[in-house]
Amino acid sequence: MPTKQTLFEKIWDAHLVAQPSGRSPIIYIDLHLVHEVTSPQAFDGLRVAGRKVRQPSRTVATVDHNIPTEPRGTPITDLIAAKQIAALQANCKGFGVRLFDMDSPDQGIVHVIGPELGLTQPGMTIVCGDSHTSTHGALGALAFGIGTSEVEHVLATQCLAQQTPKTMKIEVRGRLAEGVTAKDLALGIIGQIGTDGATGHVIEYAGEAVRGLSMEGRMTLCNMSIEAGARAGMVAPDEKTFAYVKGKRFAPRDDEWRKAVEYWRGLPTDEGARFDKVVEMDAAQLCPFVTWGTNPGMVAPVTGRIPEVGSLKESERRATELALQYMGLEPGKRIEDIGIDRVFIGSCTNSRIEDLRAAAQVAKGYHVSSKVRAMVVPGSQAIKRAAEREGLARIFLDAGFEWRESGCSMCLGMNPDILQPGERCASTSNRNFEGRQGRGGRTHLVSPMMAAAAAIAGHFTDIRNWKFQ
Amino acid sequence: MKPFREHRGKVVPLDRINVDTDQIIPKQFLKRIERTGFGQFLFYDWRFAADGKKNSGFVLDEPRYEGMSILVAGKNFGCGSSREHAVWALADFGFRAVVSSSFADIFANNSTKNGFLTVRLSESEVAELMRRSRETKDYQLTIDLEQCEVYDDQGFRAKFPVDEFVRHCLLNGLDDIGLTLQHEAEITAYESLHPAPAALQSPPQP
């Protein structure tokens, strides 16, 4: 074992259960988050093999992916979705798993409620059958997405056999300018290293710009690690992290709290520890970004233009041409000249209270363009209540935004919230893949402030020039 | 799990990079609670028009590739969502393996749990296989996992890397839950040192 270790290595080593020779190491999983879409086949597997959930107390479920965002109590008209929700309810009951169901005051997007309830804590290993599990790394946890077979594996054994990932440090020097958010930082990084730039690696985000982010901002940044291909993304825990976790419902208390914080203080990467790869960036080079293509690496500054394809190598050129064809855009077009039809503010990337505050600040005193339909979908019931208390919901409603119930909603369009063919959307979510928000729909990823501004202007506009009211 | 030792089959080229799992199996088909029956929805938006009629011209539907079982595609195959449904759809459609110059981590992991092989070759080797599968009628490839080798009848031969443990599981069709449970004593010992946090141990609310 090297004497100088990274944050990742410390957590990995602390969770090694066995290292059988010639096999992948077996690591212990502290927290397993479960949702309705990737779990039914896993519970079925347990039943077929006559196995139990090994640690029901370390397993927490919620419904988020396919649920409607209509007022709660409205019947679910999609019968297959209803069946999937019923399956989760029955599985949680049958296997003794805690479920934050549709009508729970704690329901929300799985990656929003984990941190919010204090389930997510520094130093933990966390998995979920969802690629955006990387979000929880913002608190200094090792958190990554798994498939359904691995969901079954964790349910049965509370362990995973995993090849040891490589490590990558992304150091961002300097501070983010006004109007440049964690989302822009994430898009800037992916634009630079590419959608497979971190494949096989766990990223640790470091540097002044990262330290300066709020906990919500760090969650946004870690959330999008998977869009760079990373196994996970992490930020070392600090005083900000401890202050965030303290007092949360499932957080340690009293003596346990003091012991936990003492342990957490030892987690940050040791001075001089080695990473397999290091990327350095300058915060001064970042600006508000807008994606123009069909993957999150196809990104341009809001003041920029759609790139010309001439200089690209063959496979990239073809991919770019296909993307522009799908998006209905031409090379050289100014980003600010792109008009939009829809706006979605929500998702595990950008639906937290800070995101809603930022968007509401932009919307205040304005009205959504007559050409645009805009919706705000808070990440959880707790966020919804907080936003209503703070008057944010009122601002959105007065400005002509729809104010909906919590869930994944139009990030992946598994529920009725989808784009129609050809509709163009400014979205605070994480993926602009073909058809992601609805077949034929065209998604542009932006920050919450940029989305709110686009809703009002009817086209993309540089938030740095916004006249706040 | 179905073992994978050697497979010989017809090759189809999908000349795209960054094929994401949303394309492999669009979200509207993720609501099923079974593991089977996803093949009919594979690459749905590319294969079918909005009215459900088949699009002409998508490579998987060209008659010359009928009976295909090996997909050759551009880099970063399987990126995006963790949905294992992507592997289920490919396997259910009749594929046994995908050849590419790189794969997204979760997709590659999911593949190994389903006796499905991800074969990583160099970009130039992948390009060569795409060319051969386009130019040669009924182009066949053999994937030999014992030797970690891919070859055809026309002199193409390449080695591919695979984790030794993954190879062992695939060759023998091993259930890795069973393998992990061989370490029951170590898991129990770990758990006695690291009990679940007290707050989580309270019984779930009714």
Q: How far apart (Å, rounded) are the C-alpha atoms in residues A138 and A126?
A: 12
Q: Is the pLDDT of residue A315 over 70?
A: yes
Q: Do A195 and B18 touch (CB under 8 A)?
A: yes
Q: Which pair of structure tokens corresponds to residue B35?
A: 């593991």
Q: In this predicted structure, what is the pLDDT of residue B20?
A: 98
Q: Is the pLDDT of residue B36 over 50?
A: yes
Q: In this predicted structure, what is the pLDDT of residue A313?
A: 84
Q: Give residue B198's pLDDT band: very low, low, confident or very high (50, 70, 90).
A: confident
Q: Find the closest chain A residue to B168 by CA distance.
A: A23
Mean pLDDT across B166-175: 92
Any chain B CB within 8 A of the CB of A461?
no
Nearest to A315 among B17, B105, B110 (CB): B17
Mean pLDDT across A271-300: 98
Suggest the residue from B27, B45, B75, B111 to mutate for an interface test with chain A (most A CBs closer than 10 A): B27
The number of C-alpha atoms within 13 Å of B57 and in the hemisphere containing its C-beta is 1
pLDDT tens digit string along A164-184? 999 999 999 999 999 999 999
Q: How far apart (Å, rounded) are the C-alpha atoms in residues A437 and A425?
A: 9
pLDDT tens digit string along B37-90? 999 999 999 999 988 898 878 999 999 999 999 999 999 999 999 999 999 999
Q: Is the pLDDT of residue B175 over 90?
A: no
Q: Find the closest chain B residue to A166 by CA distance.
A: B105
Q: In this predicted structure, what is the pLDDT of residue A299?
A: 98
User: Percentage helix, strand, coil, to 5, in chain B?
Assistant: 40, 20, 40
Q: Do B74 and A315 touch (CB under 8 A)?
A: yes
pLDDT tens digit string along A398-407? 999 999 999 9
For residues B100 and B126, the answer to whether their CB atoms sit within 8 Å is yes
Q: Do A319 and B197 touch (CB under 8 A)?
A: no
Q: What does the DSSP 8-state code read for residue A388?
A: H
Q: Find the closest chain B residue to A152 by CA distance.
A: B177
Q: Do A96 and B196 touch (CB under 8 A)?
A: no
CA distance A436 to chain B (A): 7
Q: Is the pLDDT of residue B6 over 70?
A: yes
pLDDT tens digit string along B107-116? 999 999 999 9
Q: In this predicted structure, what is the pLDDT of residue B176?
A: 86
Q: Do A433 and B181 touch (CB under 8 A)?
A: no
Q: Is the pLDDT of residue B206 over 50?
A: no
Higher local confidence (pLDDT), B197 or B185: B185
Any chain B CB within 8 A of the CB of A37?
yes
In chain B, residues with a C-beta closer than 8 Å to the C-beta of A97 are 204
Q: Is the pLDDT of residue A414 over 50?
A: yes
pLDDT, mean over chain B: 95
Residue A156 CB partners (closer than 8 Å, separation 6+): A46, A49, A51, A52, A53, A54, B177, B181
Q: Is the pLDDT of residue A355 over 80?
A: yes
What is the ipTM for the molecules in this complex?
Answer: 0.95
Mean pLDDT across B138-158: 98
Q: Give residue A268's pLDDT band: very low, low, confident or very high (50, 70, 90).
A: very high
Q: Per mean pLDDT, which range of A29-33, A412-416, B9-13, B93-97 is the poorest?
A: A412-416
B126 φ/ψ angles, rounded to the nearest 5 degrees? -65, -45
For residues B160 and B129, the answer to whether their CB atoms sit within 8 Å is no
Nearest to A195 among B23, B27, B76 (CB): B76
Q: How far apart (Å, rounded) are the C-alpha atoms in residues B59 and B81?
A: 24
Suggest the residue from A149, A226, A313 to mutate for an interface test with chain B (most B CBs closer than 10 A): A149
Mean pLDDT across A433-460: 98
SS (H, E, C) A392-404: HHHHHHHCCCEEC
Q: In this predicted structure, what is the pLDDT of residue B203?
A: 59
Q: Is the pLDDT of residue A277 over 80?
A: yes
Q: Is the pLDDT of residue A1 over 80?
A: no
Q: Do B201 and A57 touch (CB under 8 A)?
A: yes
pLDDT, mean over chain A: 97
Q: Find the closest chain A residue to B191 by CA distance.
A: A28
Any chain B CB within 8 A of the CB of A285?
no
Q: What does the DSSP 8-state code read for residue B89?
A: H
Any chain B CB within 8 A of the CB of A98?
yes
CA distance B10 to chain A (A): 24
Q: Do A319 and B164 touch (CB under 8 A)?
A: no
Q: How far apart (Å, rounded) are the C-alpha atoms in residues A92 and A36?
A: 10
Q: Is the pLDDT of residue A205 over 80?
A: yes
The number of C-alpha atoms within 13 Å of A268 and in the hemisphere containing its C-beta is 15
- Sequence letter at residue B28: Q
In chain B, residues with a C-beta closer than 8 Å to the C-beta of A145 are 82, 106
* Tokens 């941190």, residue located: A115
